[in-house]
Amino acid sequence: MLKGIHVPLVTPFDSAGEVAVDAIEKLGRHVLDNGADGLVALGTTGEVAVLDPEERSRVIEACVRVCAGRAVLTVGVTGNDTRSTARALRELPEGVHAALVTVPYFLRPGERGVVAHFEALAEEAPVPLVIYHVPYRTGQTLSIATLRRLAAHPRIVGMKYAVGGIDQDTVELLGEPIDGFDVVGGDDVLISPMLGLGATGGILASAHLKTEMFANLVYFWRTGDAEGARLSGHTLARLSAALFAEPNPAVLKGVLHAQGLIPTPDVRLPLLPASAEAVARAVAIHDDTW
Ligand SMILES: O=C(O)C1=N[C@H](C(=O)O)C[C@H](O)C1
């Protein structure tokens, strides 16, 4: 289900600070036209934490319209308590294909708690689950044994793996692929080595830009063109590093606005707008990338 490039859409705001639904649709169509395999609504990049429930629904509905009949739509469902996360999952509308569910953050319930959480959610969810494993944000590490146990669940179909590096666990996890379970990269700068090790794709904020090149990167690794993959991987990593120079998605929104793809570069507090220098640097690297 999670093969190729999936773009976690930013949530554009208009000049009055409201969610710009038209811009979501325009941007979603733009990245799909340029080779993305799917969209992710309400990711970290979509500033899910600062949207109220009604805004979240409007974002999901816009993405359902964009993806209908043409692409995979995954929706981020955040929460660190099992009951309210299960409720949010049950409320997902038709047209959503999978839910990206974060390992419970901040509480640090331990590995057994994490397994119990996901097993309970998998029973209730109307769509398959993709686990978002990002220990530097959640504060909860997971062993290989736990990852494999979760992967064996028939309703858990993949994992966005973003541990901030590539270590022995990464190599072990990708070294023995599990049938029906896709591991996708979620640390943008590391996507090329992750694909080289066997990740099936990526959920990458950076892929709003140079989407076709990101799609080609997946294709190069899949078809064994190591030279092409290495070259585009290094080039795209430079772009990603510039986009993540300040807290995501501030710089990315600055670049998308500079390109006329979203009406304002605005983010909501506690995020601050990107500095002019960071945006100018990312624009320069972007314009120099092919
Ligand atoms: O929203 C997402 O999904 C992503 N969030 C990550 C982050 O903000 O740290 C980055 C990744 O590109 C996708």
Query: pLDDT, tens digit, for every residue of 184-222?
Result: 999 999 999 999 999 999 999 999 999 999 999 999 999
Give tens-digit pLDDT for 111-145. Answer: 999 999 999 999 999 999 999 999 999 999 999 99
**Residue 190 CA to its chain's centroid (Å):** 14
How many Cβ atoms sit within 10 Å of the Cβ of residue 247? 13
Q: What is the mean pLDDT of residues 220-228?
A: 97
Name the band, by pLDDT with cuts 50, 70 and 90, for residue 279. Answer: very high
Extract the tokens encoding 79.
């929460």
Apex CA 249: angle with CA 248 and CA 250, to 5°? Answer: 100
In three-state secondary structure terms, 159 is: strand
Apex CA 96: angle with CA 90 and CA 99, to 5°? Answer: 65
Name the band, by pLDDT with cuts 50, 70 and 90, for residue 289. Answer: confident
How far apart are the C-alpha atoms of 135 and 143, rounded to whole Å?
11
Strand partners, 38: 6, 72
What top-level class would CATH report for the domain 4-224?
alpha beta
Indicate the top mutation candidate among 45, 78, 271 to test ligand 1's pocket, ranked by most ligand atoms within 8 A of CB. Answer: 45
The answer to whether 132 is a known catalytic residue is: yes
Q: Count H helices and E strands in the chain, helices first.
A: 12, 8
Residue with tokens 């469902």: 77
Residue with tokens 């049950």: 90
pTM of the entire predicted model: 0.97
- Centre of ligand 1 to C-alpha 46, Å, is 9
In three-state secondary structure terms, 34 is: coil
Domain ranges of the chain: 4-224
Give the per-residue pLDDT at 79. 87
The answer to whether 210 is a known catalytic residue is: no
Give the per-residue pLDDT at 78. 86
Give tens-digit pLDDT for 60-94. Answer: 999 999 999 999 999 999 888 999 999 999 999 99
In a 13 Å sphere around the CA of 234, the CA atoms on its Cβ side amount to 5
Among the atoms of ligand 1, which is closest to the Cα of residue 76?
A: 3
Predicted-assembly ipTM surpassing the 0.85 threshold? yes
Extract the tokens encoding 179.
């049938």
Ligand 1 pocket check for 240: Cβ under 6 Å: no
How far apart are the C-alpha atoms of 217 and 200, rounded to whole Å?
11
